[in-house]
Amino acid sequence: MNNPATTPVVLITGALTGIGRATAVAFAREGAHLVVSGRHDDAGQKLAIELRELGAQAEFVKADVRNDDEVRNLVDQTVARFGRLDIAVNNAGTEGQPGPITEQTADKFAATFDTNVLGVLLSLKHQLRVMQPQGKGSIVNISSAFGKIGAPGASVYAASKHAVEGLTKSAALESVSFGVRVNAVAPGPIQTGMLDRFAGGEEVKSYLANGLPMKRLGEANEIANAIIFVASDTGSYITGQSISVDGGRTAL
Ligand SMILES: NC(=O)c1ccc[n+]([C@@H]2O[C@H](COP(=O)([O-])OP(=O)(O)OC[C@H]3O[C@@H](n4cnc5c(N)ncnc54)[C@H](OP(=O)(O)O)[C@@H]3O)[C@@H](O)[C@H]2O)c1
């Protein structure tokens, strides 16, 4: 990836922790140019420095994915800095407030859907605005195994990730004639802050791991590897797909 004409320009939302951060580090090690985004200035600037120390050209742009103007600015800043946008990873997400359906409220629903669904829609909107005229680009939305199966106790989160799957297929079909690919990567339980908050302790994490065919939780870098594969030209014939990276969970 070291030829400037072919070095990919990669944008990642929610990049300051977990899967987003691991993906940024993995792309930096491949020599990509990076724009990492999130809601916290200090952590964002620190990550950009860390990525530059790995040899990448990297910038942080603050953006809350629920805000149309901030997402527009994020994409415009990327193009202003690097001249184009080749790969976008729409990773920002929230577990919301899990619990039985009988305890859900309109506010809890909106708090989850605004980030996980509206955030992906706004990201796609502004990324495709740039990629379609370029005639080239690749977008990976981060879904979930819960975007393919039911999740008792996490219904709103599961519904939001089912919506991400629908957005992914629709965006792929709208973009294929422009030479732009849109896919999803759907992780199973991965050792990140989100899983810690979701599980609330080691006992539930062990229970989740033992329910998987592979009998272990995934690591963020295992998701990053799949994202890089499907986003890059190595995945050139893949569009509108959702790649499960879940220790076999959705094969059950
Ligand atoms: N870990 C798992 O088991 C698992 C499984 C399946 C799918 N996923 C998905 O993987 C993605 C990454 O999650 P993770 O596991 O890496 O957890 P994480 O460490 O909590 O990462 C989520 C990131 O999204 C950011 N974010 C949340 N709301 C945002 C908003 N409105 N605007 C911009 N950034 C926002 C968070 O930053 P703040 O500090 O600003 O909130 C955080 O950096 C999510 O889409 C998640 O649903 C995770």
Question: Quick one: pLDDT band at residue 3, thresholds 50, 70, 90?
Answer: low
Tell me if 144 CB under 6 Å of ligand 1.
yes
Atom 47 of ligand 1, nearest CA residue: 93
Distance CA 15, CA 24 (A): 7
Domains of the chain (ranges, CATH numbers) = 9-192+220-243 (3.40.50.720)
Q: Is 157 a catalytic residue?
A: yes
Q: Can you tell me the distance from the alpha carbon of 199 to that of 35, in angstroms, rounded to the nearest whole number?
A: 31
> How many Å is the maximal CA-CA distance in the chain?
55
Which position among 27, 113, 157, 198 bears the catalytic label? 157
How far apart CA 237 and CA 174 sit, in angstroms, is 16
| 96 CA from centroid of ligand 1 (Å) | 10
Q: Tell me the average pLDDT across 198-214.
A: 97
Residue 194 beta carbon below 6 angstroms from any ligand 1 atom: yes
Return the structure tokens found at 81.
């800095």
What percentage of the chain carries pLDDT values higher than 70?
98
Does the Cβ of 57 fall within 6 Å of ligand 1?
no
Task: Give the model's confidence band at 1: pLDDT under 50 very low, under 70 low, under 90 confident, else very high.
Answer: very low
- The CA–CA distances, whole Å, from 184 to 20, 107, 201, 211, 246 equal 14, 27, 28, 23, 13
Q: What pLDDT digit, counting tens, does each position of 44-99 carry?
A: 999 999 999 999 999 999 999 999 999 999 999 999 999 999 999 999 999 999 99
